[in-house]
């Protein structure tokens, strides 16, 4: 019985196969068609001229920022400027209560008069003593004693003059002036506050912002790429040959004046592998403020750049790859090294590809190494479009 059921099942399978075969007489032809290579868009790479931009976060500082501290103890009597005001060198900012110091000056002046009188008296006594010694009326020892008294009185006079100079200096210190031209900071102390040379925080800060320093960091590899082709025997000479840089402000707008990279640290930070760099921007209009933030934008012109669309690449373990079409239309996955910058949806290839190479630019997710495709070559003229807005470039 089991054998009969088995034969019936096999018979049904054969009948169904025959029906399918009869209903699809071109099945063998479709199978043959499926073996044909699929068509993918391919671009032939040609060198192009382009300018890359790379943005680096920065903090702005005035070229000179000075803490204002009193040199004497006392109460603030007057504040003669307002917070955030523009001041000039030598302008009076604060006055410290000075009545007790003025009294010290008057006392020192009186001490000088007393000392001058003592010196005059001692010299008169000396002039009286000299003839007596000549006539042997008194001994030379007494003359030496009188001469010593004159010297002592002169020393007392010199000390009184020094005390007067110190008192007058303290009186000058009650008037606090700006050591530089710049912008005043905040006032943590008000009129009536007791201040001294050791106060923390200081009375205020004055920032000279005629020039602004923009400090930023760049990794060692990027720094070497930036400077390796520059002319100069020293690093400073090479930095002088760098193009002007731009400043992207906190609101993503571009500052209207370009700047220059002036200095770079001679040390590489062992923890971050970064090099500290300073760019300088002119700030005659006072637009920039100390402590502000932004982005230093560094341009890099490339005469013969191999530019490919980002969608033509894929990443594996932090590396970039593309599919290169060989002479027999067989694909080879090829590792490349790229520069990431402001090019719109594109990379600049610095190694791994050459002019004339053909790469697949669409549908690479379905591709595998060594498969054969039917290449559809497309134009690459639009691959160098730059994105030059104030927005931050990709990093």
State the pLDDT at residue 255.
95
b vs e for 331-359, b when ≥16 Cβ sit within 10 Å of the residue's Cβ? beeeebebbebbbeebbbbeebbeeebbb
Last residue of a domain, one of 301, 321, 356: 301
State the pLDDT at residue 381.
60
Structural domain of residue 90, as residue ranges? Answer: 70-94+176-202
Q: Which of 218, 236, 315 is nearest to 276 (CA)?
A: 218
User: In the predicted model, is pLDDT for residue 4 greater than 60?
Assistant: no
The answer to whether residues 248 and 355 belong to one domain is no
The answer to whether residues 270 and 314 belong to one domain is no
The answer to whether residues 80 and 109 belong to one domain is no
- Residue 387 in domain: no
State the pLDDT at residue 100.
84
- Residue 386 in domain: no
Q: Helices 140-173 and 99-134, interaxial angle, to 10°?
A: 160
pLDDT tens for 348-384 read 888 899 989 999 998 898 899 989 999 988 876 645 4
Task: Count up the domains in the chain and report the number.
Answer: 4
- Residue 76 in domain: yes
pLDDT tens for 152-194 read 999 999 999 999 999 888 889 999 999 988 889 899 999 999 9
| 8 Å CB contact between 303 and 50 | no
The answer to whether residues 240 and 261 belong to one domain is yes
User: In the predicted model, is pLDDT for residue 246 greater than 90?
Assistant: yes
Rounded to the nearest 10 degrees, how much is the dihedral formed by the CA atoms of 166, 170, 171, 176? 140
| Position with higher pLDDT, 117 vs 18 | 117
- Taking residues 104-129, report their average pLDDT: 89
Dihedrals φ, ψ of 211, to 5°? -120, 140
State the pLDDT at residue 266.
83
User: In the predicted model, is pLDDT for residue 14 greater than 80?
Assistant: no
| Position with higher pLDDT, 341 vs 108 | 108
State the pLDDT at residue 35.
67
Q: Could you identify the residue written with the tokens 């868009």?
A: 41
User: In the predicted model, is pLDDT for residue 204 greater than 90?
Assistant: yes
Share of the chain above pLDDT 70, in %: 86
- Tell me which of 23-27, 64-68, 223-227, 330-334 is least confident: 23-27
- Residue 17 in domain: no
Question: How sure is the predictor about 263, in pLDDT bands with cuts at 50, 70 and 90?
Answer: very high
Q: Look at the chain and count its residues.
A: 395
Residue 108 belongs to domain with CATH number? 1.10.287.470
pLDDT tens for 322-351 read 999 998 999 999 999 987 666 678 888 888
> How far is residue 378's CA from residue 43's CA, in Å, rounded to a whole number?
5
The answer to whether residues 374 and 316 belong to one domain is yes
State the pLDDT at residue 388.
40
Handedness of CA 104, 105, 107, 108 (dihedral sign): positive
State the pLDDT at residue 144.
82
């Amino acid at each position: 019985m089991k054998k009969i059921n088995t034969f019936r099942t096999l018979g049904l399978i054969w009948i169904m196969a025959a029906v399918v075969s009869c209903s699809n007489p071109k099945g063998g032809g479709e199978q043959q068609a499926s073996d044909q290579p699929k068509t993918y868009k391919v671009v032939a790479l040609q060198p192009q001229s382009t300018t890359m931009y790379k943005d680096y976060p920065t903090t702005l500082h005035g070229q000179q920022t000075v803490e204002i501290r009193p040199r004497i103890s006392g109460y603030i009597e007057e504040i003669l400027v307002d917070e955030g005001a523009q001041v000039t060198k030598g302008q009076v900012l604060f006055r410290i209560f000075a009545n007790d110091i003025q009294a010290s000056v008057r006392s020192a002046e009186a001490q000088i008069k007393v000392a001058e009188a003592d010196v005059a008296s001692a010299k008169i006594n000396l002039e009286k003593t000299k003839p007596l010694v000549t006539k042997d009326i008194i001994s030379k020892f007494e003359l030496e004693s009188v001469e010593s008294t004159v010297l002592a009185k002169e020393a007392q006079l010199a000390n009184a003059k020094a005390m007067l100079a110190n008192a007058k200096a303290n009186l000058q210190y009650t008037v606090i002036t700006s050591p530089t031209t710049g912008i005043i900071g905040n006032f943590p102390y008000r009129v009536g506050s007791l201040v001294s040379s050791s106060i923390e925080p200081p009375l205020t800060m004055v920032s000279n912002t005629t020039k602004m320093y923009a400090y930023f960091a760049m990794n060692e590899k990027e720094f070497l790429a930036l400077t390796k082709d520059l002319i100069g025997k020293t690093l400073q000479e090479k930095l002088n040959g760098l193009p002007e840089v731009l400043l992207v402000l906190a609101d993503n707008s571009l500052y209207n004046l370009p700047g220059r990279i002036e200095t770079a640290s001679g040390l590489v930070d062992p923890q971050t592998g970064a090099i500290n760099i300073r760019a300088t921007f002119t700030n005659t209009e006072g637009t920039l403020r100390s402590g502000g933030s932004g982005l230093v934008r560094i341009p890099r012109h490339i005469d013969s750049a191999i530019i490919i669309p980002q969608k033509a690449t894929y990443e594996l373990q932090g590396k970039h790859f593309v599919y290169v079409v060989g002479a027999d239309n067989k694909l080879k996955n090829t590792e490349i090294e790229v520069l990431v910058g402001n090019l719109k949806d594109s990379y600049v290839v610095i190694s791994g590809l050459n002019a004339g190479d053909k790469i697949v630019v669409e549908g690479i997710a379905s591709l595998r190494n060594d498969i054969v495709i039917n290449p559809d070559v497309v134009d690459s003229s639009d691959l160098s479009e730059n994105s030059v807005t104030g927005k931050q470039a990709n990093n």
